[in-house]
Amino acid sequence: MIVVKRLFFGLFLLLVSAIFGLFLLYWWGGQAQLTERQYVTTLTQSGTVDQDSDTLRVMTYNIGWMSGMTNNRPVQRTDSLYHVHFQMVVTVLQQVQPTMLGLQEVDFGADRSRHWHQLDSLADHVGFPNRAAAVNWDKRYVPFPYWPFSSHYGRMLSGQGILSHLPVQHQVREVLPMPPSSFLYQRFYIDRLIQWGILSWQDTSVALLNVHLEAWHQPTRQQQGRRVAQLADSLRHHHLVLVAGDFNAEPPQRLSAHSGNHDSTLWPLQEKGFRSVTYQPGQTEDWMYTYSAVTPRLSIDHIFYHPAQWQPVSARVVTEVGDVSDHLPVVADFVRASSEAPLQARENEVNTGPKGAVTLIE
């Protein structure tokens, strides 16, 4: 009888310890490491492109923290994996030579990517003099993937970034609505952002909206898409606007034709007059597939422009980067539309953003 009591008491202590450990993980692991003011950093210097050039080359890439097709899988990653992938990205960027690059899922010294500040490393090795970082995932400990424990992401600091050969006047980090979910999910949720920067070019300014929208909850993603369109249309009155990123949404006509799914995420941009270089209205085939990198079957990474401001010259999926990420990047060349009147950013509007936006110039 005494042995049975001791056994039950031991099991009780084990259960209490497990519950306490989970609570501690929830409370401590879900805490931020930085202040909100530190979530936005900008380093800007003189530009390195010919300001007289009529062409801008824009690229968007969900870099998947350079984890390749192991993204979200419970596997151990080696230093050599990251070094090989990093060198591949550097080589491709040196060949493509984008004027500006919007990155999603780039790490700023997270445990999962060997404490590597990937944005700064790319800027230094490729030769981008201007960079802007916006944190969207800041946690002391992320217990994912759930099993085995050795595969946990651990300390997390990740987000979105803009690398540019044009000077960055200003940037804003706008947090988008999160989906309805449990308190546990929300505690460790990846904030979805519009990171937008104002860049100097010729006699005007370019507003680049670098976005990463909700992946799993379609109604929330559609709500986020409406906000992106609203902001892009508002900025268009004072800047040349480009919207690029991982929308996690396919062209509406492709969805309707192939699956009957009516995801309206991209419709608001189209209703505001924006067009994408990755597909055209009425298109039924020849999609630019960007996901997954190994077997591309989905078109979810896009670059939007307004035909009153821009004329696209060329666009393509950059397949030569391989499986550095689970996504493939898109690059496009633009010239100013012949009907576009010169714009000059207003001083008081360049230095203000939506409520709650934080800007730090370093």
pLDDT in tens, 122-169: 999 999 999 999 999 999 999 888 788 788 998 999 999 999 999 999
**Are residues 196 and 214 both part of a single domain?**
yes
* Pairing status of strand 55-62 against strand 330-336: antiparallel
Number of domains in the chain: 2
pLDDT in tens, 27-39: 567 888 999 999 9
**Are residues 57 and 122 both part of a single domain?**
yes
Read off the pTM: 0.88
Q: Positive or negative, the Cα torsion across 274, 315, 52, 198?
A: positive
**Are residues 100 and 19 both part of a single domain?**
no
**Are residues 64 and 5 both part of a single domain?**
no
Q: Tell me which residue of 296, 259, 261, 260 sits closest to 278, measured CA to CA.
A: 296
pLDDT exceeds cutoff 60 at 9? no
Q: What local confidence, expressed as pLDDT, does residue 183 receive? A: 72
Q: Which residue has the higher pLDDT, 242 or 9?
A: 242
What are the Cα distances from residue 351, in Å, to 41, 200, 322, 357, 358?
A: 15, 14, 39, 11, 11
**Per-residue pLDDT band at 347 (split at 50, 70, 90):** very low
- Is residue 355 one of the residues assigned to a domain? no
**Are residues 222 and 251 both part of a single domain?**
yes
Of the ranges 22-26, 88-92, 190-194, 325-329, which one carries the lowest mean pLDDT score?
22-26
Domain interval for residue 230: 36-350
**Are residues 68 and 162 both part of a single domain?**
yes
Q: What single string gives the DSSP state of each residue in 95-117?
A: HH--SEEEEEEEEBS-GGGTT-B
Q: What local confidence, expressed as pLDDT, does residue 355 receive? A: 36
pLDDT in tens, 65-86: 999 998 878 888 888 999 999 9
Q: Distance from first CA to last CA of the chain, Å, rounded?
A: 69
- Bridge partners of 80, per DSSP, are none
**Per-residue pLDDT band at 22 (split at 50, 70, 90):** low
**Are residues 105 and 171 both part of a single domain?**
yes
**Are residues 19 and 159 both part of a single domain?**
no
Q: Which residue has the higher pLDDT, 85 or 52?
A: 85
pLDDT exceeds cutoff 50 at 352? no
